[in-house]
A and B are shown apart, each in its own frame.
Chain A
Amino acid sequence: MSEQTGKQLSKEEKDARFEAELLPVLDPLYNFAYRLTLDEDDANDLVQETYLKAYRFFDYFEQGTNAKAWLFRILKNSFINEFRKKSKQPAKVDYSEVEGYYNSDDVEGEGGVASTTDMRTESVQDLIGDEVASALNALPVDFRTVIILCDLEGFTYEEMAKILDIPIGTVRSRLHRARNSLKEKLEKYAKSMGYNS
């Protein structure tokens, strides 16, 4: 009886610690999952799975160390090991959907508001964001991953090496190739926006 109470207390403590240390990473983690899977439901599943794994291995997690990198690493591994197999290669489908959407004339035609100055500034911002997202989503997942980790989440090369289980030299070369590839995709668009080389 007393043993059970003790156990329950420690579980409560563990849960509280777990929530305090790891739940604040939920937002970046979900965004990472979404950028990997390109699907909100899949991202949801992947994040839940990551937290459950993290909970199982929480005893190995040293308090105060880099919780974000630790969770990102677990999520990346889950994605590779289980998720990727069952995923239906959504990248191309999603990209072409977005592409089709922006190529269709209906978008501008129906709204009619896009011509007012305020709307225009805002929609240009949105459009750039959408364009960057499409270009990024069209990259191979390994390239997409390093760009997200570095530019969106601000991980250092060393942290990225740990998350991805690759040497720092590989992080650097992969990032370099990923950026060249992204640059290529955005170059045409950038020129149309007036960013000439």
Chain B
Amino acid sequence: MESRFTETHQKLSDDGHESECDKIVKLLDLMIDGEASVEEQSYFNTHIEECVPCFESHQKQKLLKGLVCGHLKRVIVPESLALSIKARIQETV
């Protein structure tokens, strides 16, 4: 299936009124970032129990966040950096 989530929802929005799935899209980020209110969480969770596309979008969004926080390598701070910061601060009056 080539269906792209974002496109699907743009189509839905064309009707003029916001569908339940549209509201869910708007909550996706809040949910994965832990910023949704209790009401938003329960609205969201109830909806994705019954709506497969929204359930999948949620999985995808979580995966995306996981890719960044779990796989992006951290760069190693050069050892000299802390020392030179301390040195420059000591020089500062």
Q: Are A152 and B5 in contact (CB under 8 A)?
A: no
Main secondary structure on chain B at its contact with chain A?
Answer: helix
Q: Which of B72, B78, B84, B86 contacts A132 (CB 8 A)?
A: B72
Given A15-B90, A55-B89, A55-B92, A48 and B73 contact (CB-CB distance below 8 Å): no
User: In the complex, what distance in Å separates the CA atom of A69 from the CA atom of B65?
Assistant: 21
Within A5-42, which residues are at the interface with B (CB < 8 Å)? Answer: 11, 15, 18-19, 23, 26-27, 30-31, 34, 40
Interface centre among A40, A179, A190 (most CB of B within 10 A): A179
Closest residue on chain B to residue A52 by CB atoms: B88
Q: Which of B3, B30, B64, B81 contacts A48 (CB 8 A)?
A: B81
Within B23-76, which residues are at the interface with A (CB < 8 Å)? Answer: 29-30, 33, 35, 56, 60-61, 63-65, 67-69, 71-75
Chain B residues with CB under 8 Å of A40's CB are 75, 78
Main secondary structure on chain A at its contact with chain B?
Answer: helix
Q: Are A47 and B81 in contact (CB under 8 A)?
A: yes
Q: How many residues of A contact B (CB 8 A)?
A: 45
Question: Chain A: residues with CB nearer than 8 A to chain B?
Answer: 11, 15, 18-19, 23, 26-27, 30-31, 34, 40, 43-44, 47-48, 51-52, 55-56, 125, 128-129, 132-133, 136, 147, 150-152, 154, 156-157, 172, 175-176, 179-180, 182-183, 186-187, 190, 195-197
* CB pairs A–B below 8 angstroms (11 shown): A11-B93, A23-B85, A27-B74, A43-B75, A55-B92, A157-B35, A176-B29, A179-B29, A180-B6, A186-B64, A197-B56
